C-alpha cells in the first residue's frame, strides 16, 4: 500500500518527502476536500521532488462542467503532475461522472500518456448530492482512468469508516481490482485504521490530517516525523 501525503506548499512537500511518502499530492484544503492548488505551486513541488517520487495534483471538488475540468486537467499535467485527481463533487449520477472523466482522460493522455488519472467519489455523497461512490469503479474503468478513489466531501469529525463499513469498502476495492485498476482510499484516515485499509485491498491511502502536527488538516502543518511514523506502520504490515 502506497502512502500519499497532501501538502499545500513547498515547505510541507519537503516534510513529506523527508518523511518517506510515496506520492506527494498537492492540494488546497481552503477550496474543499480535494481543493485545487495553483499551477506554480504544483510546478515548484515537482521541481523539488526527487525524480523517482511521484507528484499528484487535485483538480478540486469539480462541477459538472466537462470542458472546464478537462482544461484544469491539462493545466495540472503541464505543471508537472504525474497523478491527476478529480473529485466528482458536482456530478449527480454515472452518466455525468463519465462525461467529466472521459474528457479529463483525453486531455491528460494527449499531453502525457504516462500520467495517471484518478476518479474520486465521496463516501458521504448523500450529504452533498454527488454520484454514488459505488459507481466510481465503473466510471473509472469506462472512462479510461487508472485509479478509483473514495474520500469524504465534508471534513468534520467523521472518517471514511463512518460512511462505508468494511463490507462496502471491500466491495469497492474488489470491483476496482476486477477492472484491472488500482484503488485509493482517503477520508480523515487515522493511523490506527491503516492496517484495516491494507486488509481491505487499498492500494493507495491518502492522508493529510494524520500527517500534521496536532492532527488538524486545516490548522496543522505536515511534519516529517509524523509522515515517517505512518510509513513505518505501513511497512510493518
Catalytic residue among 65, 85, 155, 231: 85
Residue matched to cell numbers 488538516: 217
196 is catalytic: no
85 is catalytic: yes
Task: Retrieve residue 147's grid coordinates.
Answer: 485509479
Cβ atoms 186, 151 nearer than 8 A = yes
Catalytic residue among 27, 30, 51, 196: 27
* Cα maximum dimension of the chain: 44
Q: Over the Cα atoms of the chain, what is R_g?
A: 16
Task: Retrieve residue 5's grid coordinates.
Answer: 501525503
Helix (H) or strand (E) holding 207: strand 204-207
Catalytic residues: 27, 85
Amino acid at each position: 500500500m502506497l502512502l500519499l501525503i497532501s501538502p499545500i506548499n513547498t515547505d510541507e512537500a519537503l516534510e513529506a518527502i523527508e518523511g518517506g511518502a510515496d506520492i506527494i499530492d498537492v492540494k488546497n484544503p481552503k477550496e474543499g476536500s480535494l481543493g485545487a492548488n495553483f499551477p506554480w505551486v504544483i510546478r515548484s513541488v515537482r521541481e523539488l521532488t526527487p525524480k523517482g517520487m511521484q507528484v499528484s495534483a487535485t483538480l478540486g471538488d469539480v462541477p459538472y462542467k466537462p470542458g472546464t475540468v478537462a482544461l484544469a486537467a491539462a493545466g495540472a499535467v503541464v505543471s508537472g503532475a504525474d497523478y491527476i485527481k478529480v473529485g466528482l463533487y458536482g456530478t449527480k449520477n454515472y452518466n455525468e461522472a463519465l462525461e467529466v472523466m472521459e474528457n479529463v482522460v483525453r486531455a491528460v493522455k494527449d499531453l502525457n500518456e504516462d500520467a495517471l488519472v484518478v476518479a474520486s467519489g465521496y463516501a458521504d455523497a448523500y450529504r452533498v448530492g454527488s454520484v454514488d461512490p459505488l459507481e466510481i469503479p465503473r466510471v473509472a474503468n469506462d472512462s479510461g482512468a487508472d485509479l478509483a478513489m473514495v474520500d469524504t466531501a465534508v471534513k468534520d469529525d467523521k472518517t471514511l469508516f463512518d460512511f462505508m463499513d468494511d463490507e462496502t469498502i471491500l466491495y469497492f476495492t474488489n470491483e476496482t481490482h476486477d477492472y484491472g485498476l488500482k484503488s485509493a482510499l482517503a477520508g480523515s484516515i487515522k493511523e490506527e485504521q491503516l492496517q484495516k485499509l491494507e486488509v481491505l485491498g487499498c492500494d493507495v491511502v491518502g492522508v493529510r490530517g494524520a500527517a500534521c502536527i496536532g492532527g488538524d488538516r486545516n490548522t496543522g502543518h505536515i511534519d516529517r516525523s509524523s509522515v515517517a511514523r505512518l510509513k513505518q506502520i505501513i511497512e510493518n504490515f
